[in-house]
Structure 1
Amino acid sequence: MSATDEIDLAAPADPPAGAATSDDPIHEPAPRPRRFGSVEALAVLLVLLVIFRGPLASMISSPRLQTWTTVFVSVLVQAVPFLVFGVILSAVIAVYVPRSFWARALPKHPALAVPAASLAGVVLPGCECGSVPIAGSLIRRGVTPAAALAFLLAAPAINPIVLTATAVAFPNNPEMVVGRGVASLIVAMTMGWLWLRLGKAEWIKLPHRPDLDGMSRGNAFWSAARHDVMHAGGFLVLGAAAAATINVVVPERWLTSLASNPVLSVLALAVLAVLLSICSEADAFVAASLSQFSLTSRLVFLVVGPMVDLKLISMQTGVFGRRFASRFAPATLVAGILTGTLVGVILL
C-alpha cells in the first residue's frame, strides 16, 4: 500500500448527499402554504357579486325569489340578536363558573338529581351546542350521568332566552311558551329517569380532556363564543333558507294537505326539526313561519329540535360515543313527539 493510499484512508469520508455539514447554513423549514379560509371565501363571494350583479338583479326581481328573500331575511333579523346574546352568556357560564359547582349543587340521590338538574337548565341561557360539552364535564366531575343528560336536554329548551324568543315569535299565542317549557321539562326528566333504569355506563365514552383545558379564561371564552357562533349561526342560516324554500318551492296545496292531517303534520315537523338543526334561540321564528301547520305540530317542532337534530347527534357522538348516540337520540325523539303532542292537545 502506497503513502497516497494511506492518506486517502485516513481522510474522512465524504458526507452523504443531502446531509448538512458544519459549513452549510442551517435551513429553516419552508413556511406552510396559506390555506383558503373564510376571509378568502368572502372576498371571492364579493367579487362574484360585483361581476354578476346584473343577472342577480334580474333574478331578484322575480316575485317568488322576492318572497324567498323576505322570509329568509325576516327569520334572520328576528333570530340573530337572541343567538348572539345566548352564545355570549353560554360562554361566560362555561368558562367562568367552576365545573365542580354543579356537583355540589345537585342532590346526592340520583333520582332527585334528575329534576334538579333539569330545572338548573334555566340558568344556562345558551343553545344546545354549549350544553353537550358542559354535560360531558359534569359527568367528569362526578355528577350522575342521568342528571347530566337531563341537564343536556333541558338547558337549550327552558332557559329564559329561548322562552322569551318563543314569546316574541308567537305574540298571539302565549300558551306556546308554557307548552314548550312544560313539554321540554317533562322530556328531560323522563329521559334522565329512563337512563337510571336502563342506561349502562359502558355506553358513554368520554374524550380524555375538555376542549378548553389549558387555555386562559379570556382565550377560552373567545374560543367557546367563536365556536358556538360559527356552528349555531351557520345552522341558523341553513334553517332560515330551508324555511324560506319550503314557503316558496313546495306547492301550497301540498302543505295544506299535509298540515290538515293531525298525525302526518306532527311527524313531518318532527322530522323537519331533526333535519334543519336550528339553534334553540332561533327555531321559534322558523316555527312561526310555518303557519300552515297546527300549533300542536309546531310545538312538537320546538320540543324535538333542541333535543334531537343532526348537529346534536354528531356532537353527542363525539363527546359521549357512538354507542350512546345511537340509543339516546332515537329514544329522545320518540319521547319528544309523544310528550309534545300530549301537551299540545291539552294546552293548545
Structure 2
Amino acid sequence: MLAQNTLNSARRRVSSTYVLVALIVLGLVVQAPVARVVGASARLQTGVTIFAGVFVQAVPFLALGVVVSGAIAAFVSPAVLQKVLPRNESAAIGVAGLAGMALPGCECGVVPVARRLADQGAPGSVALAFMLSAPAINPVVLIATAVAFPGEPAMVAARFSGGLATAVVMGLLWSRIGRPTWMLPRGGGHGHCVSGRTRWEIFTEAARHDLLQASAFLVLGAAAAAALHVLVPSSWFEQLAGQMVIAILVMAVLAIVLALCSEADAFVAASMSTLPMLPRLVFLVVGPAVDVKLFAMQAGSFGRRFAMRFAPSTFAVAVVCGTVAGYIFLGGAR
C-alpha cells in the first residue's frame, strides 16, 4: 500500500506541465544540430516553414480560447444555461445551439459541460446540441477562420451556418430517435469544477489542461499540413480538386483522423490552398463535431453505446450540412 501511494504521489508530481517544460528544454539543446539538418534539405525547409506558419498563426487564438474557457469553468455554472432554456424541447435545442457562441474554447472542454447539463436535468438532445455548437461557432473560432481566410467572409458565414445546422439537426434527430438508456447515467460534478477548490485554482487547472491538450493536437495538425505539402505530390491535390465528391469525403475523414482543436483547424485548412473551398469547409464543419479524440471523450462521459450511435450519425449530418452551406455561401465548386 505504501509503495502504491508513493507511486501515485510521484505521478502527481510529474505532471504534463513538467513534461512540456522538459520538451522545450530538449528543443533548445538540439536546436543547432536540427537546424543544420533542415538547412541541408530544401524539402525539410519547406516543411518547417509551413509548420511554423500554421503554428504561429494559430497560437494567439488558441491562447485566447484557453483563457476564456478557463474563466467560464471557474465563474459560469451550466445551471445558468439550463435556467434560460425554453420548456419546448425543439425550441430549447435551437437556443442551446445559439448558446454555444457564449463558450469559447476547444471541443475537449465542452464534453464535460454537456455531461453536467444532462446531469442537472436538461434534455439529452439539448445538451448534445450545445456540445456540438460551442466549439464550432464560438467567437474565437470564427475570428480565427476570418484571419486564416483573409478576404473570404463567405467562409466564415458558411462555417457558422454549417456548424450551427449540424448541432440543431443532431439535437432534433436525437430528440426523435435517441433513448435515455443509450446514455450512461452519471451524477455529481464533472470537468474542472471540483468542490473544495478556489475559483483561481479551477481557472488555472482548466486553462492548463486545455492549453496542453489543444497545443498537442495543434502540433499534430501543423505537422500533418507540412507533411501533406512535402510528401504528397501536388498533382494528387489537383486530381482531387477535380473530383468534388471524393475531395469532400477525403477531407471529412481527414478531419476525424487529425482531431485538431477547433481554434486552430482553420489555419491547417487554409494551408491546403490547392483544394477548392468546399472540401476545406467540410473539413472545418466535421472536425469540431466528430473525431477520434471526441469519440473517446464521449464514450467516457456518456458511455460506449452512446458514442457508437452518435458519432456515425454526426459525421453524416456534418458532411451534409457543410456541403449545403458551401453551396449556399461559397458557390459550390469554389
Task: Please say whether Structure 1 and Structure 2 have the same fold, judged by a TM-score greater than 0.5.
Answer: yes
Q: What is aligned with 1:197?
A: 176
Matched, 1:265 2:244: no
Tell me if the contact between 1:136 and 1:206 (Cα under 8 Å) persists in the aligned partners. Answer: no
CA RMSD of aligned residues (A): 2.3
Question: Structure 1 residue 74: deviation in Å?
Answer: 0.6
Larger deviation: 34-43 or 75-84? Answer: 34-43
Q: What is aligned with 1:283?
A: 265
Where does the alignment leave 5 or more consecutive residues of structure 2 unmatched? Answer: none
Q: What is aligned with 1:15?
A: none
116, 120, 127: which one aligns with 1:137: 116
Q: 2: distance between equivalents of 1:284 and 1:229?
A: 18
Instruction: Report the secondary structure of 1:108's partner residue.
Output: coil
Question: Structure 1 residue 216: deviation in Å?
Answer: 2.4
Question: Structure 1 residue 151: deviation in Å?
Answer: 0.5
Tell me if the contact between 2:285 and 2:322 (Cα under 8 Å) persists in the aligned partners. Answer: yes
Larger deviation: 220-229 or 185-194? Answer: 220-229
Which AA in structure 2 matches 1:262?
A: M
Q: What is aligned with 1:233?
A: 215
Larger deviation: 142-151 or 59-68? Answer: 59-68
Q: What is aligned with 2:91?
A: 112
Question: Structure 1 residue 76: deviation in Å?
Answer: 0.8
301, 306, 322: which one aligns with 2:288: 306
Matched, 1:64 2:43: yes
Higher normalized helix content (fraction of residues): 2
Instruction: Report the secondary structure of 1:263's partner residue.
Output: helix
Matched, 1:242 2:224: yes
Identical counterparts, % of pairs: 48
Cα distance, 1:40–1:330 mapped onto 2, change above 3 Å: closer
Instruction: Report the secondary structure of 1:151's partner residue.
Output: helix
Q: 2: distance between equivalents of 1:281 and 1:120?
A: 18
Q: 2: distance between equivalents of 1:328 and 1:312?
A: 11
Cα distance, 1:69–1:280 mapped onto 2, change above 3 Å: same
Larger deviation: 306-315 or 54-63? Answer: 54-63
Tell me if the contact between 2:119 and 2:186 (Cα under 8 Å) persists in the aligned partners. Answer: no
Matched, 1:91 2:70: yes
List per-residue Cα deviations over 1:216-264 (Å, max 9, x = no partner): 2221111111111111110111011001110111111112112221011
TM-score, structure 2 as length reference: 0.90
Which AA in structure 2 matches 1:213?
A: V
Where does the alignment leave 5 or more consecutive residues of structure 1 unmatched? Answer: 1-26
106, 110, 114: which one aligns with 1:127: 106
In terms of Rg, which structure is larger?
A: 1
Tell me if the contact between 1:167 and 1:177 (Cα under 8 Å) persists in the aligned partners. Answer: yes
Question: Structure 1 residue 93: deviation in Å?
Answer: 1.3
Q: 2: distance between equivalents of 1:188 and 1:29?
A: 44
194, 200, 206: which one aligns with 1:224: 206
122, 143, 155: which one aligns with 1:164: 143
Matched, 1:213 2:202: no
After the TM superposition, which parts of structure 1 deviate over 2 Å for at least 4 consecutive aligned residues? 27-56, 58-61, 206-209
